[in-house]
């Protein structure tokens, strides 16, 4: 469509155009029902087919073993910050937390509200403004931890774990909200994964939770309010209450599109190409495009932060980019500068367009 911009917002973020066009075509009459999918009961067979297909596609793309369950829930990552310790940190049970950014820090603080000192911070790079990830020797996992929590991609700061923390077999629990499904990965070290959909999966309002059976069996049941129990959502196939049906429908569309283009292997190739293009440009102009992340190996291929020499140039960059059809480039309020969020739906050609703009901008202003 001629009037669509290139969307670099950090979330809610860009969605694949074919997934939106499918929704457009079906909006008023879904599956011959004479209704929008937004109008159909979540107990109907038409909606149930969409719901189950979304879960099946997640399982297929990640090749999930049978001992993992998929939950589709509301509340975003914020609910999971509290729901995870509420289910698993009871009667003195302990968990370890690694803080590598703003959202990882919030997850830890919420766990402290639930579990007090039994939520333990074992590594942090906050003194360096989260400009790098902890090195392996800086992470000391406690052998009595029920899980080790970390955030796989730090949306604000632009760092990303390319290999996951070693825990000696203790289950990982991970907030993957901003890089879930950017590539295929082995889920077996993970006891629990959660991801808000609004960055890399679909619209806001849906959260994907994947939980391994052994952790599910340890979760509290009757001691918690019903909605806060992982067990009840698994038992009810994420239909305990009215789910965000339209959001799950769009999630289904996105996952089906991901499968159609070659799955996570194809998506990873695109994402790595985008990272090479953008960081290549930044590295060609190190005095003009100044990266926030201090260790190149920690650079995110989802969110890229950099600064121009002056605030005036930062503002001019954002305004000129918008005039050229590129939006969402203003940096996060706590950091400033420029942030490029290039989730799965952002294409390689769109990054080439941005890089060409950056090259020309640098020639004029460097």
Residues belonging to the active site? 103, 175, 199
Helices H / strands E in the chain, number of each? 10, 14
Identify the CA nearest to 304 among candidates 357, 353, 354, 270.
Answer: 354
Of 62, 8, 37, 347, the C-alpha closest to 195 is 62
Both tokens of residue 265?
């292997």
The single-letter DSSP state of residue 15 is -
Whole-angstrom Cα distance, residue 339 to residue 336? 8
Q: How far apart are CA 167 and CA 245, in angstroms?
A: 37
d(CA 207, CA 54): 12
Query: What burial class does residue 19 get, using C-beta atoms within 10 Å of its C-beta: 0-12 exposed, 13-18 middle, 19+ buried?
Result: buried
- What is the Cα–Cα distance from 237 to 212, expressed in whole angstroms? 15
Residue 1's Cβ-count burial label (10 Å; 0-12, 13-18, 19+) is exposed
Strand order in the sheet with 119-124: 68-73, 207-212, 190-196, 172-175, 145-151, 94-99, 119-124
- Enter the tokens of residue 143: 């052998």
């Amino acid at each position: 469509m001629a009037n669509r911009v290139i969307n670099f917002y950090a979330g809610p973020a860009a969605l694949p155009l074919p997934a939106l066009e499918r929704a457009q075509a079906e909006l008023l009459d879904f599956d011959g029902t004479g209704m929008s999918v937004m109008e159909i009961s979540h107990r109907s067979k038409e909606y149930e087919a969409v719901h189950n297909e979304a879960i099946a596609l997640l399982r297929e793309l990640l090749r999930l073993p049978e001992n993992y369950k998929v939950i589709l829930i509301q509340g975003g990552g914020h609910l999971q910050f509290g729901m995870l310790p509420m289910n698993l940190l009871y009667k003195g049970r302990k968990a370890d937390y690694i803080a590598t950014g703003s959202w990882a820090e919030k997850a830890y603080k919420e766990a402290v509200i639930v579990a007090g000192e039994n939520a333990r911070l074992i590594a942090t790079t906050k003194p360096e403004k989260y400009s790098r990830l902890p090195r392996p020797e800086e992470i000391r996992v406690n052998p009595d931890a029920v899980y080790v929590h970390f955030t796989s991609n730090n949306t604000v700061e632009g760092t990303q774990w390319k290999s996951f923390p070693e825990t000696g077999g203790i289950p990982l629990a991970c907030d993957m909200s901003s890089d879930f499904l950017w590539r295929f990965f082995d889920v077996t070290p993970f006891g629990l994964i959660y991801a808000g959909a609004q960055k890399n999966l679909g619209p806001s309002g849906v959260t994907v939770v994947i939980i391994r059976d052994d952790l599910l069996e340890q979760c509290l049941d009757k001691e918690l309010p019903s909605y806060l129990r992982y067990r009840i959502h698994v038992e009810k196939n994420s239909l305990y209450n009215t789910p965000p049906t339209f959001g799950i429908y769009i999630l289904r569309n996105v996952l089906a599109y991901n499968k159609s283009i070659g799955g996570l292997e194809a998506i990873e190739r695109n994402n790595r190409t985008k990272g090479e293009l953008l960081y290549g440009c930044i590295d060609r102009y190190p005095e003009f495009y100044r990266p926030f992340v201090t260790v190149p190996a920690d650079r995110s291929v989802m969110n890229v932060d950099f600064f121009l020499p002056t605030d005036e140039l930062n503002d001019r960059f954002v305004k000129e980019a918008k005039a050229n059809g590129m939006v969402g480039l203003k940096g996060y309020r706590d950091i400033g500068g420029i942030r490029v969020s290039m989730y799965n739906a952002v294409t390689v050609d769109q990054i080439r367009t941005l890089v060409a703009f950056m090259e020309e901008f640098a020639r004029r202003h460097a």
